[in-house]
Amino acid sequence: MKNNRIIKVVCRNSKLSLLQVKELFSLFPLLKYELAAIQSFGDKNKHISLMDAIDADFFTRELDWAVLNAEADIAVHSAKDLPYPMPSGLELYCLTEACDKTDALVGKNKMKLSELPAGARVGTSSQSRREELLNLRPDLTVVAVRGTIEERIALIEKGDIDALIVAACALKRLGLDYLTAEVLPFKTHPLQGNLAVVGRKGNEELKSLFSAHDVRRKYGKVILVGFGPGNPDLLTIGGDKALAEADVIFHDDLIDKEFLNRYSATKVHVGKRKGKHSHHQDEINEHLYRAALSGRNAVRLKGGDPMIFAHGREEIDFLKSRFVEVTVIPGISSGIALASYTHIPLTHRGISSSVAFVTGHSSKKSNIPAADTLVYYMAGENISNIAKDLIASGRDAGTPAAWVCDVSLPGQKTFFTTLKELQFSVIKHSAPVLVIIGEVVAFENKTAGEQNILATGTACPEYRGQGNITHTPLIKVERNKSPDVDRLLKQSTGSYRWIVFTSRYGVRFFFEILDDIRLDIRSLGPAKIASAGKTTTLELKKYHICPDVESETESAEGLIRYFEEINLSGSKVLLPRSNKGLPYLSEALAQTGNQVTDLPVYNNLENETAEKVDLTQFQKIIFSSPSGVEAFKKIYGELPEGILLVARGKTTENSIKKNL
């Protein structure tokens, strides 16, 4: 384009905007232009408070339309007013150097912020300035103001406000900076003070006329790179090249540090692990932005893939809204690597035609995808809730599952289980855990029989055939021979409406006591029988009793749910149990107006002769009761990491979690 061409320019119809155009073209003295000043939507509607949610193009819409409709060649904006993303068909031609990025305080007698009396009225049009102000002076009154800078300053002269917060660059451009009482220590908009030249996409000749003063020429670039699941061999060639050319690398916690030493860039650790964050995400964003502003090429190195549960889009938006160039180099996501390293296919003809990646931080039923195969990331702490909700949503409790830790690394471990077992399972592991659920797991869980399982309860018949069982009972049970138990039963004839059994031992010792004191269960009243699960029911059948209700969850939780559904109230309930039985069942029944008798028919004791075994040989440890968990801790010191801890019921699961 020849320099003698007249460029059609559009800007807002205010003194400040006109001065901004003049300032811009002072940088390009050889360019000629003609100017049209128009009112934007924001200028026409000063009754709308900027403290409220407003459209991103509140101050730019009409100007951009003029450019898109070829009524103007370029629009000149305050850069902080630009919408993100920009309207289709437009692009930023030039972003000038900011003359000043600070906020200033203007007020009567040039009083500083610390000198303003409590309750003083301070005007601002920005929600962020309001928050910054009240953070320093919560005793001040914030007043939302609108209008040109001159109109806002006039509010002080009229006594409507005592002070005003305004961009220092606006005061300077208007020649009013002498009114500044002080520069405020506020965090301001990143584009405050910059001017933006916006034009139609594709007009490279016109765009080139403004390139000499485009501050973005000094910016560095940011590349988001996926490192993969942990094994450096899985880093892509593109990722390796980006790391080799980087000036600074912001890396996650699980990246191989020795491998990073081959690159000369400055390394900055910004990792997150199990809720412990070295940096919050907004701090990481700011680090990337500052690196680009300083002209350095930065790599944000992430485990897995930058766009899968990795805040990749947040970083892209943060940087692109500030006009920093961002590119992304994909990595192998751990959910993909899991399939290769375990040989469990994510899809398979006739079995699974769909797969979903799901964050393990949420187990809401409404968030469960309708996919054949589910891969849960970061699932360790929430796996039991995930399994419960999947079953509640219709998934078969027998659906095979596998949990995998340290995918692709030498210490990778894979453990096979089912949804039913996962309902009350706990995983203690410092590294991220993935769980894959679906029929495809059956291709590999045929090897589940090779797993070594440590059973710590008094018996473990239900685990026969599931692996190599080592049975080391950590507790022993003995009948409670206290005469108080016998006396209570003799005095209770004809009074109970429900007898609730929570274990096989409760059944066994209850009937043993009845036999010794020569009582029949029918003498206790027209009682209905409740069983905590199949094992308890099998024990009852030995005494020719079929329970009226059996817990669907193999635990007392299912019984509580049942009694809530039938609105059981005002009934006498007998609860034969151990001396260490937790009170939550009896408390739940009592809260609904029932009279509960806790009957300790047996004692739950630590097994002093329990053998201590090498835990590294096991993939699962089965706990049958909270007392078993307590006994385990006495013997081993703490619950182990990297082993699936399986509980028989919610109460035992809670005990495991409490002792992690």
Active-site amino acid positions: 252, 272, 378
Provide φ and ψ at 127, rounded to 5°: -65, -40
Answer yes or no: are the C-beta atoms of 324 and 292 closer than 8 Å. yes
Helical ranges in 358-482 per DSSP H: 383-392, 419-422
- Parallel, antiparallel or unpaired: strands 141-144 and 121-124: parallel
Answer yes or no: are the C-beta atoms of 581 and 502 closer than 8 Å. yes
Helical ranges in 262-374 per DSSP H: 281-293, 312-320, 334-342
- Parallel, antiparallel or unpaired: strands 572-578 and 595-606: parallel
Sorted by sequence, the CB contacts under 8 Å of residue 325 that are 6+ apart come out as: 216, 219, 221, 222, 292
Sheet holding 298-303, edge to edge: 266-269, 248-251, 298-303, 222-228, 326-329
355, β-bridge pairs: 373
CA pseudo-torsion sign 253, 256, 261, 263: negative
Chain centroid, CA 586 distance in Å: 36
Sorted by sequence, the CB contacts under 8 Å of residue 265 that are 6+ apart come out as: 243, 246, 247, 248, 249, 299
Answer yes or no: are the C-beta atoms of 417 and 644 closer than 8 Å. yes
Provide φ and ψ at 207, rounded to 5°: -60, -40
Q: Which two tokens stand for residue 191?
A: 């584009």
CA angle in degrees (0–180, nearest 5) for 198-203-208: 75
Separation between Cα atoms, residue 430 and residue 527, nearest integer Å: 49
Which amino acid makes up residue 584?
Y
Closest CA to 403 of 365, 377, 423, 364: 377
DSSP3 helix / strand / coil % (the chain, rounded to 5): 35, 25, 40
Which amino acid makes up residue 640?
P
Which amino acid makes up residue 66?
A
CA pseudo-torsion sign 296, 302, 306, 312: negative
